[in-house]
Amino acid sequence: MKKYYVNGLFLLMISTLLISCGGKMVQKAAPSFEPYKFSSNKYEPKVDNFLVILDTSYSMSHKYGHKKKIEIAKEFLTAMNQTVPELKYNGALITFGPNDSIMLDYGLTQYSPSGFGSALNATKTPSGNSSFPLTTAISAAAGELKSSQGQIAVIIVSDGENMDQAPVKAAKELKGEFGDRLCIYTVLVGDNPAGETLMKQVAEAGGCGFSVRADAFKDSGDMGDFVKKVFLAKAAPMVAVPMPLDSDGDGVTDDLDQCPNTPKGAIVDARGCWTYAAVVLFDFDSAEIKSEAFPMLDDAVLILKKNPQMKVEIDGHTDNKGSAAYNMNLSERRAKAVMKYFVDQGVEAERLATKGFGFTKPAASNDTKEGRAKNRRVELQPIQ
């Protein structure tokens, strides 16, 4: 056992040395694809739905360069899937070819990169030899898209081989059914001249798409350009909506403020009026200030003392119980009661004026007990 162990270790050391020194023996892993990154605030979806038609017929098992054409096709779609920004789309994948069959491998459903990628990896191995399955696949796409809403991109990936003009006719019928909502994009795998001509004609039948060759994509920037043209539109610039002004800084914007120019620190109601409604100032049919209202009125006194040049009109109000004349008198007495309280607290009388409004300017509905209580109030109006 020891002899075998030493010999094995020797061989491992020699192998390692050869691999390290012999450049041709070292195999580097292919670099991973780094998707092009789009700025989320610069783009929005150009399409609402996209449907990929992938050729998995027998000719796609042939090599183009060092890879099978189906491998090139899948690499293209994988790169596309990794590049498409996760905005709101519906996606679908249809394959055609194996045993002349048409398969809906994915969707039409809300697109997710993981879901589409899994479906793409699970597609069947190329087989079959029919000349017309692309035609059938385009017709199947029309059925899948029938209930879709909004703009549509159809992306066809194929070598275009062994086909007559039937796919072009099918593409024109598809365009006729969906009109300006639909554009067709074709991706040629390989360099078959007849296939390239056919793929260009299919794209032209869509009226607003284009045809490209898979081997024209050299890096992530090329794929980013393709995705941008097919999937994205530039987002409309965000227009700053000016905030409504609140000139007096009372928390009620000018467009809603029924009592402008309230002083800083004043407590206002939803109308922006300087009033103290958290506690009812007066009982029904009374001009006597309730004791629990004194702290609120003291706040007003403090504001008046901080603004010695300010003059204030004290407006009295009532609910709608009783006659108009009686309530007008009651509202005046309420205003005078508040004025007296302010004077007693050290505010100069010449800075104060009173006015009664009766029940002509309710702040709340008089249809409820609570609303009537809020209307038994005074409001303070700065005057210059």
Per-residue pLDDT tens digits for 279-336: 567 889 889 888 888 888 888 898 889 888 888 899 999 999 999 999 999 999 999 9
**For residue 168, pLDDT beyond 80:** yes
Cα distance between residue 32 and residue 85, in whole Å: 19
DSSP state letters, 145-165: HTT--S-EEEEEEE--TT--S
Query: Which tops the pLDDT comparison, 279 or 382?
Result: 382
DSSP 268: B
Question: Per the omega criterion (within 30 degrees of 0), is the bond before 182 cis?
Answer: no
**For residue 100, pLDDT beyond 70:** no
Q: What is the mean pLDDT of residues 110-130?
A: 86
Quick one: pLDDT band at residue 6, thresholds 50, 70, 90? very low
pLDDT at 11: 39
**For residue 186, pLDDT beyond 90:** yes
**For residue 374, pLDDT beyond 70:** yes
The 10 Å Cβ neighbour count of residue 200 is: 17
Quick one: pLDDT band at residue 4, thresholds 50, 70, 90? very low
Quick one: pLDDT band at residue 242, thresholds 50, 70, 90? confident
Q: What is the mean pLDDT of residues 215-223?
A: 91
**For residue 10, pLDDT beyond 60:** no
Q: Would the pTM count as exceeding 0.95?
A: no
Q: Of 149-158, 311-320, 375-384, give the range with the top mean pLDDT.
A: 149-158
Residue pair 352/312 in contact (Cβ under 8 Å)? The answer is yes
Cα distance between residue 190 and residue 113, in whole Å: 26
**For residue 17, pLDDT beyond 50:** no
- Whole-number mean pLDDT of the chain? 85
Residue pair 147/119 in contact (Cβ under 8 Å)? The answer is no
Taking phi first (over 0 means left), then psi (-120 to 50 degrees means alpha), and beta for anything else, what does residue 97 get?
A: left
Per-residue pLDDT tens digits for 51-86: 999 999 999 999 999 999 999 999 999 999 999 998
**For residue 2, pLDDT beyond 50:** no
Domains of the chain: residue spans and CATH: 34-234 (3.40.50.410), 274-383 (3.30.1330.60)
Quick one: pLDDT band at residue 3, thresholds 50, 70, 90? very low
